[in-house]
Structure 1
Amino acid sequence: MPNVHLTEPMRDYVEGQIRSGAYANLSEVVRAGIRLLMEKDGARQFYALKAELEEAAAAAEAGGFAEFDARAFEPDAFRG
């Protein structure tokens, strides 16, 4: 695994977190930071999807859509 190079303020912060007992070592601090980044990325994806859905809903409300005919799209699904 790669080495982690930290600035002095980051090292001081990490050492303080370890001294306080919040984390046992540098690896725990790094994992916690990566988890936060992963959560943030998930939130970013969520908000991007939400914006796309809002845009699509606005287009639909403004009449920018076509009727969907499920029977024409998948006629075999409606054969009994």
Structure 2
Amino acid sequence: MPNVYLTKQMQEYAEAQIRSGAYANLSEVVRAGMRAIMEKDGARAFYALKAELEAAAEEVERGDYVEFDPRAFEPDAFRR
């Protein structure tokens, strides 16, 4: 189990969360924090993908694209 160092302010906040009954112990507080970070990272990835898709859609609307030719891309897949 890794050791975790908390600043005094973080430690006091965590202890207050435990006293309030929101969490049973420090491990639960830390896990909740890790879940929040993981959710935030998931949202960040979603919005990055959304921005890429919007940029690609704008390129298509401008006519700035090349038609995909699967035979040119993978000619061996179409040989019999």
Q: State the alpha-carbon separation in 2 of the partners of residues 7 and 72 from structure 1.
A: 59
Number of aligned residue pairs: 78
* Structure 1 gap segments, 5+ residues each: none
TM-score between both structures, scaled by the size of structure 1: 0.84
Residue equivalent to 1:26: 26
Q: What's the CA shift for 1:69?
A: 4.3
Q: What's the CA shift for 1:67?
A: 2.3
Q: State the alpha-carbon separation in 1 of the partners of residues 73 and 52 from structure 2.
A: 24
| Corresponding residue SS for 2:3 | coil
TM-score between both structures, scaled by the size of structure 2: 0.84
Q: What's the CA shift for 1:68?
A: 3.1
The code of the aligned residue for 1:15 comes to E
* Structure 2 gap segments, 5+ residues each: none
Q: State the alpha-carbon separation in 2 of the partners of residues 46 and 31 from structure 1.
A: 22
Structure 1 stretches of 4+ with a deviation exceeding 2 A read: 67-76
Residues 41-74 of structure 1 show CA distances to partners (whole Å, capped at 9, x for unaligned) of: 0000000000100110001110111223457667
Tell me the percent identity: 71
Q: State the alpha-carbon separation in 1 of the partners of residues 21 and 39 from structure 2.
A: 24
- C-alpha RMSD over aligned residues: 1.8
